[in-house]
Every structure is written in structure tokens, then in C-alpha cells.
Chain A
Amino acid sequence: MYQIDQRSPVPVYEQLARQIERHIVSGDLADGQKLPSIRELASALRINPNTVAKTYRQLENEGLVSSRKGLGIFVSVRGMDLDGSRDKLFAELTDDYVRKATGLGMEGNEIIQGLTRRLKGGK
């Protein structure tokens, strides 16, 4: 599901667009899959239907979804650079992680060591 961060300075339509993009990149939303209608999504998340419409317009401009008249909005990733999108999202995640770790006073080597231990299944 989708989660709106009320404290984020990022506008809600943009937050929602990035979350849908993440679902598309990860394959949770498959190519050709129908997205919820504006009304369904707005009611479920208690957000303004104009906001959802803006999210869908943005995703359409970015080429991640396409609208078929009278039928709805569908995931459409043909010809999309999914690897590029994945790299971009991973870079954002890494930036966020590094920022938080640095905030704790960790330095580069410690961060890398901590990650390596984790990846090997240790603590």
C-alpha cells in the first residue's frame, strides 16, 4: 500500500508518484496492470482526487503509465529504462542511509564494515 508522510516537504502528488514508480520498478505492479481509479485511490488514502489526478498525469508524462479512454490507467513500461530507474531509486536510498549513519557519527569505513557484516548475516 501507499503511505503519505505528513511531515515531508515533498508534495503529496510527488510522494505518491515515487511510490508507484517503486512498485513498478520492483515488479509489484506488472506491465499492463490496471491502477486503481482516481476515486478509489483518493478515498482509500483520504487525499484530494485532484492530487491523484496530478500523480497519474506526472507518471504518464514520465512514460510509466498510459491512460486508455474510458478504461482507466495502466502500467506501461515498454521501452522504459527500468534499470536506470532502479539505479536512481537505489542511489536515493543509499544517500538517505549514508546521511543517517553520518548523523550518528559513523565514518566511511565503519559504514562499509557494518553493511558487509549485515550482508553476511551477522550483527
Chain B
Amino acid sequence: MVSMKGISFAYGSKDIIRDLNLEFSPGETLMITGPNGVGKSTILRLLAGVLLPSSGSIEYGFPKSTDPRSRIAYLPDSLSFYRSMTPLEAAAFHAGIFGTEPSGLDIARKAGVDVDRRISELSLGQRVIVQLSIILSTGPDLVLIDEVLHSVDPYLRGLLFQELVRVMEERAPTMVLVNLSFSEVENLVDRVIFMGVEGIRLDESVDLLKAGARLIEADDFSSDLPVVLCREVLGRKQFVVYPFTAGQEGVEKAHPMDLTEIMTAFMEAEYNA
């Protein structure tokens, strides 16, 4: 169990995160989403230990004797690590720090990466693959992935998924994803946290979210249902409701929504607020 307790963080005088409390279970894969600038990447950096909170604490629950960094695999949004090394050198360097076996770079080789070439000369997608195969080789208990997948072509993305699935099945780590496209990973994620300017707006399992979110098209709409968003599309009013309970009077057609649509509605509501 990883827990963030009363975490605050500021860049200079600008508060980014205020009194954040979150708990992640082993084997859980979650997505942190929300508009730009609410501190999603900052949460990952704090979890990775790259940034230190100005107050509060993070407990990892790893075995006491281990270096917590060896249990964390962090793929940052800027792929700045090891640029001047070749993938082979980088794998050996990484393994040297943590005293583990170096990555065999299997998926990188499958992806056609020349493992003797400088990382800075590889394509962006290849760099993502190299970095991921290196950081996952330590057998992490906490995997943190920021952005990146959109720079990877569909074939390589397939290889990446295989690798993630392998790690998930072998070690059941906690996996935290930020800024990824929902349609890519919506069946990988089992919990979604939506961050607004005021902090956490929503923290829910994907199954409950999909079971409870509905789009209702109506000219007028009055009921006790909680409306997340009201908007007009092609001259018709749309109401996004969550959580929906069936059997409301005056609600004839309530359409289920996919995760992208649900999160877009929350996002729109946040911008309108």
C-alpha cells in the first residue's frame, strides 16, 4: 500500500498541491486526469521521489531493507535520461545503481532498436521503449508513467502493452498513469482520479463510473439527478448525469458513455466553473 498523507507542494510561491491524501493498493492501475496545470505530473514526481513535498509524507510499504528507488519505475514526460549512452550501456548503468540484473532489452530488440546506438539518435517511440524496458527490469512495485504513449506508433504500442501486461501479471504492482489518451488504456485502468483546481473532484472505480454516467438529450430537464454538465450540441441540449439512477420520471433516453466521453464532460464542467 502506497499512501500520500497531507501532501502539499509549491513551485516558488505558487501552490500546486494542497493537503493531498491518496492511497494506492498493490495490483491497482489508476489514471490521474484533469485540466493542464493542476499538478498531475507533480504528483508523479513526488511519488517517484524526484521532488520532495513541502509538507506531508509518502509511505511506500516496501520491505525495509530495500532501496525504495529500486522498487519504483518512473517514466517521465521528458525522456531526458541516459541520452548520451547506448541502450546497452544505459541498461548496465541502471542495473549497477540498484544491484539488479541488467535488462535484456527484449522489447527494444523486438521493436528493431539498434542497442549499440546512442539513445539521443533513436526515434521518440524507440526511446520510450528503451526506457520502459530498462525501468521495468528491476521488478518494480510501483510503476509511474507520464504522457509518452502518443509518440509511439501502433505496432510498438502493442509491444508496450504486452510488456505492461507481463509486469502486471507477474508482480501486481501499483500502476499510476498520467496524461494518457483514455481510448488507449481504458481497459487497463481500474480507477480514475479527476483533479480540478480545487483538488480531487472524483475518485472512482471505472466499473462504477461507466455503470453510473449517462448522457441525456432533452429540451428541458428537471429531476433530482446530479447534473455534471449541461451543454448544447447541434441545437439540442445535452445533460451529463452522474451517478444516474434508473426509473426517474421524465427521463426517457439515457445513453451510456465511454470513459473518454465521461472524462471530457468532467473536464468541460471544470473549465466552465
List residues of A whose CB falls within 8 A of some B CB: 4, 6-9, 11-12, 38-39, 42-43, 45-51
B161, A9: Cβ atoms closer than 8 Å: no
Query: With A6-B259, A9-B211, A11-B211 in contact, is A46–B169 under 8 Å at CB?
Result: no
CB < 8 Å neighbour of B188 from A6, A7, A38, A46: A46
**Which chain A residue has the least Cβ–Cβ distance from B172?**
A50
CB < 8 Å neighbour of A42 from B165, B190, B207, B257: B165
Minimal beta-carbon separation of A2 from chain B (angstroms):
11
Minimal beta-carbon separation of A12 from chain B (angstroms):
6
Residues from chain B with a CB closer than 8 A to the CB of A43 are 161-162, 165-166
B186 CB–A CB distance under 8 Å: yes
**Interface footprint category on B:** 20 to 34
B187, A49: Cβ atoms closer than 8 Å: no
B210, A46: Cβ atoms closer than 8 Å: no
**Which chain A residue has the least Cβ–Cβ distance from B210?**
A9
Q: Which of B187-218 contact A (CB under 8 A)?
A: 187-190, 207, 210-212
New contact pairs (8) apart from A9-B210, A48-B29, CB-CB < 8 Å: A6-B183, A7-B258, A9-B256, A43-B165, A46-B161, A48-B189, A49-B169, A50-B172
Best-surrounded residue of A4, A12, A46 (most CB of chain B within 10 A): A46
12 contacts between A and B (CB under 8 A): A4-B187, A6-B259, A7-B258, A9-B212, A9-B256, A11-B207, A12-B207, A38-B169, A39-B166, A48-B168, A50-B27, A50-B172
CB < 8 Å neighbour of B256 from A8, A38, A42: A8
Q: How far is the CA of A4 from the CA of B183 in the complex (A)?
A: 12
Residues from chain A with a CB closer than 8 A to the CB of B183 are 6
A51, B168: Cβ atoms closer than 8 Å: no
Residues from chain A with a CB closer than 8 A to the CB of B187 are 4, 6, 12, 45-48, 51
What are the 5 A-B residue pairs with the smallest beta carbon separation, nearest first? A47-B187, A6-B258, A11-B207, A49-B169, A9-B256
B211, A6: Cβ atoms closer than 8 Å: no
Q: How far is the CA of A45 from the CA of B190 in the complex (A)?
A: 15
Q: Which of B231-273 contact A (CB under 8 A)?
A: 255-259, 261
